[in-house]
A and B are shown apart, each in its own frame.
Chain A
């Protein structure tokens, strides 16, 4: 069927900010969809509040709205743009919910907008628990037995039907608190009681326990002719009980016979038909009883998802692109499979490799939260790896995670531990359980034991056992000295580094001695090397090269080599030389090429913003004639779309893996260089190693990057340029730290060296707090010093992003932070242009940035952070590379900053690009978005340690309006009336007073705790006093729980007051009450409430702003 001609314009709804459970996979999907729709000649209108996305680049959609994704705002866009159709299946749950609201508000009907991809009825049927269950009953598929209870008696009736063990989930509690699994009647009654208590609606869901059942996902695509295909099956290594987003998963399914697989295939298709997903991709989840194969449908998502992105990357089948084409009327047979270029999209990809995904967690950022996995997702990113077998794929994924793993590293806590301790540890669904499984095997547990405890399928366990056995052999006998033996190990996925570690153990030098000795040179080292085969990563590499044990590259072709693939999408593997030499399909071209190193798995501090830059490097360099080669291992991203670069290597970003790719790429054509400054810390860590091997690095030299990171070298430069830094020092012991802090004067900022995202950074006010930090947060030693900085309390922080070509510096953006210095810059809201700084201060920061860029010899991008206090500009830090702020700057000023930087890195001069417009007649506000709701127990407060997962942008004519939009985009609806609770630290009292005055003028009632109440009353403001929690009930938290508070302003300092006030912030979070923990943000909020009425907000496209 041809494409529809009755529609000509389509509104695509994006997913908004990156949050846990909704990450850059929706940028990948949405970008594909927009490209696909544009190809067909449709006018595309996009709404997405996330400026760090590729899809919101103004050249993609015809009209791009960076506006909050609320039904009210999207209704305004619809009214203005009058699209014929809305595509809600590309933007995750956010887009689906928004579309459903637009439907129920009557907006779609009013403006004659049709939902395409999935209609409201299908979405509702898939999302509503009961309707979904009824639908499954109708087609004869089983759902988990369950029921809803409002009393213990009701629960007891239900459990007779659902059976024990039973899962109890209280309704509407944060992160599922108060629920649990009951194995016997007494336990059941207890947990039900607790759950009923915890639930604000006194309601619990009683569910049949499927714990330990195998979990599968099927990615299905359907067209309007009713052709259905399965793109990929995915099997979870973690059985039921862990959210699939937090599970290690493998594609394809590995432990099903064809008969069982076909049952699941038929069921998946039946589900799509029954739910009524007319066109597009959906994902259906199943649980399978390992004992008898009983199949239960868990849920389905009538849209593209994180799993569909994974399936697309795993098979080479672009689900979102195809889904978009299907949504406008094509059928699968009319769409070409671009990987082969010769076959249609109406087929089922078959693969001849194994794909493993491992989630990446960030529990260390959320102290107080329990690091146990359950049915609510907690991971912040994921890595995918491809190998020719499970072992290779798994070990590549482990090292690709970038959590200092080289493979199955030892779990020291379990080494030599008793069986009970090992069993106890394994039974916990911890984020690193896979490593514990390996350690348990080392400790002598059998695969059957571990299967009993964890529910991991025996097949996977035996594969891991194979790895552990091989490790043992190397640790006892050293490395094999023949090609076949070494190749066998490499084919199991062992990294050179892991092999070196194991080989050194074979020498039998006690404890860490062997490892230490091995690093040195001389006779002892040579003896060790002779015995072990190799003692370092580099020696293993040399040994491999000597023996000719090199990886080959195979193509991802969606058809297991049945047809020729024209798309160079590749992974490495170690093959037997079946026909003389191992067959390599890399086929590097003779072109002039650039390699771009990506950012690896998303984590807090390194996310989509860096991928955005990498993608721009690909686009920009392709435009000027280079062949672009991308290396990355994050399946969620646009950078790992085979369409983004000319050649894609889906590989871990380690020295070993990158070297092997460069070796092959350098064998033909000319490697102009490698771009390391766009992917965050990940590629930077490789930069020096690459340069040492003689690989050209494009742009700013690794030495300049190091200079900026090295405090001593940097301090010299600062002195030379006569710039001012906050006083600082470096300490190698507790006593040194105390001495440095004393000489600077408290408060000071403490942090370990070399970090991104401000991990383990803290402000301390006294020597006692310093002691506490050093004892609990860092390990201070000769190798890892702690840095001590003067803390500029209440200073205004700024970011400046500049471009430099070595001769000329161009300022791209000056951002004024809203939160004061001390809050991590990634967690602060900020504005372009600065909303309150005097022009001379801005000019001074620009002058300093220019001087720094020239002095460092920056070629490309540089980010500088400043603090402004009492009219004085302090230099905080310099990063001569792309920073997190680049996409926001680009969107705010309407210039492709990252693209220009890429071309400058390749040698072009800034003067050849048009000048930037500096006098903006609008204001752009970036706001950070936090995952606190996922981590009950952690304090939802802003600190020097970065905790946000994503960002939104509000853009409008003035600061208060743009700020309000940024809040709306971040999910915060500011109240227009009601009670405001205020409790602020001493130094903030005068600062917040104008805000409170504003709120009083707007008709708000103010309540405050003792000190704050007294102060505000003295200023003549009507304020009622309310008890602190410690002062006894009824206290502020009671009022919040009772829904009497509409806004919370709560600033604290010092760890004791933080502890005292934590329940206020936690309650605000749980009750979804807007809350601000800094004085500056409170001021902005009050101003926004005063001057903007949400109903009067207007929408405007980027194209319109820029024109």
Chain B
């Protein structure tokens, strides 16, 4: 077996490896699916909700480094799933996954990873990796798992280096639903699981799926809406034909500029027609693009469940200044400096001051950069769903 000149010798029991595009080779133990996968290495600082993270379509083409050392403690179940199409290709963890201990577990996390075709790598100093990402940005890499310990490192390195990266990549199309769907699931409660959506609920929300987390739809239902989910590339006419009271713009992976190529014109038209709009994450970014702002790729994305966001500007009344603890997952952001006159900043990150929410003046259109649907993470921001659904019809 050949190895890259600069890479360290393979430890004798290494069955997994992370090869960064800069030539770094990080050995560990593989788990889950075998083979290799390419993606951008990011980190997530949530201490709970690894299964939700691993099924969040926004993580498509990414390898998630979990900063919490023990992952897999509560196994895997059929409920804590945010999307089934495509999401993170793999994860890097500090500790070997131990058998689960939770009454809701149906499967071990390792088995589940294997079943979902995701590659895991354990035994890594994830803090060192995280610090590296903080200092030098999120690297492209290949994660590989081979039970016999055989790896073609130069080939893996070549693959990592040749991968184009997330910037300019339209991943939404890949992870979006192929067909329109009438959303039937309700909100999760302990002991009862997911309820059912009321079929005759009003108002009617059409949700454009750019790689949505299912919990967004469940929250819209909880707020009282009937939800129809449509694919990312659904045309303005098709949307209008559904007679929505409001349109929801979902989260999703990749570069907003790339997905925006086809999505922004639709959003702009909806905006011009005064259709009420609510965007989350990628949806928020594209709403901002449609309203005339710009987006940028962040040096270090926000990924965790402890991010403070403050309500700013007009329109919040007494609650101006309130802080909500939010779940975040974004590597691109709306550049707050570029907001045109008609757009108001409504939320900012208290960590770095970056934009976290906008509202289009004179219209019922707003978006937030973070994830009010939580899952995983705090549920402080449910009010946004109520605000959107409550303002319709």
Question: Which B residues lie within 8 Å of A580 (CB)?
Answer: 8
Question: Beta-carbon contacts of A568-589 to B below 8 Å, as 1s and 0s?
Answer: 0000000111111011000000
- Tell which of B47, B52, B104 touches A350, judged by Cβ atoms closer than 8 Å: B47
DSSP class of B's interface residues: helix, strand, loop or mixed? loop
Question: Which A residues lie within 8 Å of B305 (CB)?
Answer: 348, 350
The verdict on B115 contacting chain A, using a C-beta distance below 8 Å, is: no
B43, B101, B124, most chain A CB atoms within 10 A: B101
Question: Beta-carbon contacts of A235-278 to B below 8 Å, as 1s and 0s?
Answer: 00000000000000000111111111111011000000000000
- Tell which of B24, B47, B123, B308 touches A252, judged by Cβ atoms closer than 8 Å: B47
Question: Which A residues lie within 8 Å of B77 (CB)?
Answer: 257
A1040 vs chain B, min Cβ distance (A): 52
Question: Which A residues lie within 8 Å of B95 (CB)?
Answer: 389
Let me know if A388 and B80 touch, CB within 8 A. Answer: no
The verdict on B98 contacting chain A, using a C-beta distance below 8 Å, is: yes
A1028 vs chain B, min Cβ distance (A): 58
Q: A257-B80, A462-B98 are in contact. Are A349 and B74 (CB under 8 A)?
A: no
B14 vs chain A, min Cβ distance (A): 10
Chain B residues with a Cβ closer than 8 Å to the other chain, count: 67
- Tell which of A226, A293, A348, A389 touches B191, judged by Cβ atoms closer than 8 Å: A293
Let me know if A333 and B99 touch, CB within 8 A. Answer: no
A225 vs B191: C-alpha distance when bound (angstroms): 34
Question: Which B residues lie within 8 Å of A346 (CB)?
Answer: 308, 310, 323, 325, 350
Q: A332-B323, A462-B99, A463-B98 are in contact. Are A579 and B132 (CB under 8 A)?
A: yes
A632 vs B100: C-alpha distance when bound (angstroms): 34
Which of B159-167, B232-240, B252-260, B375-383 participates in binding chain A?
B375-383
Write the chain A residue with the least CB distance to B376.
A258
The verdict on B69 contacting chain A, using a C-beta distance below 8 Å, is: yes
A348 vs B308: C-alpha distance when bound (angstroms): 8
A219 vs chain B, min Cβ distance (A): 14
The verdict on B321 contacting chain A, using a C-beta distance below 8 Å, is: yes
B264 vs chain A, min Cβ distance (A): 31
A1056 vs chain B, min Cβ distance (A): 54
A169 vs chain B, min Cβ distance (A): 29
A564 vs B28: C-alpha distance when bound (angstroms): 26
A953 vs B104: C-alpha distance when bound (angstroms): 55
DSSP class of A's interface residues: helix, strand, loop or mixed? loop
Write the chain B residue with the least CB distance to A255.
B101
Let me know if B45 and A559 touch, CB within 8 A. Answer: yes
B206 vs chain A, min Cβ distance (A): 27
- Tell which of A225, A266, A466, A576 touches B123, judged by Cβ atoms closer than 8 Å: A576
Let me know if B74 and A257 touch, CB within 8 A. Answer: yes
A348 vs B126: C-alpha distance when bound (angstroms): 20
The verdict on B181 contacting chain A, using a C-beta distance below 8 Å, is: no
B370 vs chain A, min Cβ distance (A): 13
Write the chain B residue with the least CB distance to A353.
B69
Write the chain B residue with the least CB distance to A1.
B321
Let me know if B52 and A227 touch, CB within 8 A. Answer: no
A140 vs B209: C-alpha distance when bound (angstroms): 35
B119 vs chain A, min Cβ distance (A): 17
Let me know if B102 and A560 touch, CB within 8 A. Answer: no
Let me know if B73 and A575 touch, CB within 8 A. Answer: no
Let me know if B304 and A257 touch, CB within 8 A. Answer: no
The contact size tier of chain A is 35 or more
Question: Which A residues lie within 8 Å of B191 (CB)?
Answer: 292-294
Write the chain B residue with the least CB distance to A463.
B98
A295 vs B191: C-alpha distance when bound (angstroms): 11
The verdict on B387 contacting chain A, using a C-beta distance below 8 Å, is: no
B215 vs chain A, min Cβ distance (A): 10
Let me know if A258 and B24 touch, CB within 8 A. Answer: no
A390 vs B72: C-alpha distance when bound (angstroms): 14
The verdict on A160 contacting chain B, using a C-beta distance below 8 Å, is: no
A262, A354, A466, A554, most chain B CB atoms within 10 A: A262
The verdict on B205 contacting chain A, using a C-beta distance below 8 Å, is: no
A653 vs B124: C-alpha distance when bound (angstroms): 28
A283 vs chain B, min Cβ distance (A): 18
The verdict on A561 contacting chain B, using a C-beta distance below 8 Å, is: yes
Question: Beta-carbon contacts of A316-356 to B below 8 Å, as 1s and 0s?
Answer: 00000000000000011100000000011011111111100
Let me know if B74 and A255 touch, CB within 8 A. Answer: yes
Question: Which B residues lie within 8 Å of A227 (CB)?
Answer: 322-323
Q: A261-B48, A347-B308, A578-B124 are in contact. Are A466 and B73 (CB under 8 A)?
A: no
The verdict on A611 contacting chain B, using a C-beta distance below 8 Å, is: no
Question: Beta-carbon contacts of A385-396 to B below 8 Å, as 1s and 0s?
Answer: 000111000000
The verdict on A362 contacting chain B, using a C-beta distance below 8 Å, is: no
- Tell which of A331, A389, A560 touches B130, judged by Cβ atoms closer than 8 Å: A560
Of residues 109 through 129 on chain B, the ones whose CB sits less than 8 Å from some CB of chain A are 123-129
B358 vs chain A, min Cβ distance (A): 20
Question: Beta-carbon contacts of B302-316 to A below 8 Å, as 1s and 0s?
Answer: 001111101000000
A-B interface contact total, Cβ < 8 Å: 197
Write the chain A residue with the least CB distance to B302.
A562
Question: Beta-carbon contacts of B348-377 to A below 8 Å, as 1s and 0s?
Answer: 001100000000000000000000001111
A895 vs B27: C-alpha distance when bound (angstroms): 59
Let me know if B102 and A262 touch, CB within 8 A. Answer: no
Q: A350-B305, A560-B67, A579-B24 are in contact. Are A258 and B11 (CB under 8 A)?
A: no
Let me know if A562 and B376 touch, CB within 8 A. Answer: no
Question: Which B residues lie within 8 Å of A225 (CB)?
Answer: 321-323
A991 vs B132: C-alpha distance when bound (angstroms): 76
B121 vs chain A, min Cβ distance (A): 10
- Tell which of B80, B124, B351 touches A259, judged by Cβ atoms closer than 8 Å: B80
B120 vs chain A, min Cβ distance (A): 15
B130 vs chain A, min Cβ distance (A): 4
The verdict on B190 contacting chain A, using a C-beta distance below 8 Å, is: yes
The verdict on A457 contacting chain B, using a C-beta distance below 8 Å, is: yes
Write the chain A residue with the least CB distance to B350.
A344
Let me know if A348 and B125 touch, CB within 8 A. Answer: no
Question: Which B residues lie within 8 Å of A463 (CB)?
Answer: 98
A285 vs B32: C-alpha distance when bound (angstroms): 36
Question: Which B residues lie within 8 Å of A295 (CB)?
Answer: 190
Q: A257-B49, A576-B28 are in contact. Are A457 and B101 (CB under 8 A)?
A: yes
B53 vs chain A, min Cβ distance (A): 9
A226 vs B49: C-alpha distance when bound (angstroms): 26
The verdict on A484 contacting chain B, using a C-beta distance below 8 Å, is: yes
Let me know if B130 and A583 touch, CB within 8 A. Answer: no
Let me know if A347 and B375 touch, CB within 8 A. Answer: no
A360 vs B305: C-alpha distance when bound (angstroms): 35
The verdict on A1066 contacting chain B, using a C-beta distance below 8 Å, is: no
Question: Which B residues lie within 8 Å of A459 (CB)?
Answer: 73, 98-101
- Tell which of B8, B48, B123, B132 touches A257, judged by Cβ atoms closer than 8 Å: B48
- Tell which of A333, A458, A564 touches B323, judged by Cβ atoms closer than 8 Å: A333
The verdict on B274 contacting chain A, using a C-beta distance below 8 Å, is: no
Question: Beta-carbon contacts of A422-448 to B below 8 Å, as 1s and 0s?
Answer: 000000000000000000000000000
Question: Which A residues lie within 8 Å of B8 (CB)?
Answer: 577, 580
Let me know if A389 and B131 touch, CB within 8 A. Answer: no
Write the chain A residue with the least CB distance to B318.
A225
9 A-B interface contacts by CB (under 8 A): A252-B68, A261-B48, A265-B378, A350-B45, A389-B94, A389-B95, A463-B98, A579-B24, A583-B131
- 18 additional A-B pairs beyond A293-B104, A578-B124, beta carbons within 8 Å, are A227-B323, A258-B52, A259-B375, A265-B379, A292-B190, A343-B350, A346-B350, A348-B305, A350-B305, A352-B130, A389-B94, A459-B98, A466-B98, A562-B130, A564-B134, A577-B125, A578-B129, A579-B24
Q: Which 9 interchain pairs have the tightest Cβ spacing?
A: A258-B49, A459-B101, A258-B376, A560-B67, A583-B128, A348-B306, A258-B48, A458-B101, A578-B125
Chain B contact residues, CB within 8 Å of chain A = 8, 11-13, 24, 26-28, 43, 45-49, 51-52, 67-70, 73-74, 77, 79-80, 94-95, 98-104, 123-132, 134, 188, 190-191, 300, 304-308, 310, 321-323, 325, 350-351, 374-379
Chain A contact residues, CB within 8 Å of chain B = 1, 225-227, 229-230, 252-263, 265-266, 290-295, 331-333, 343-344, 346-354, 388-390, 457-459, 462-463, 466, 484, 554, 559-564, 575-580, 582-583
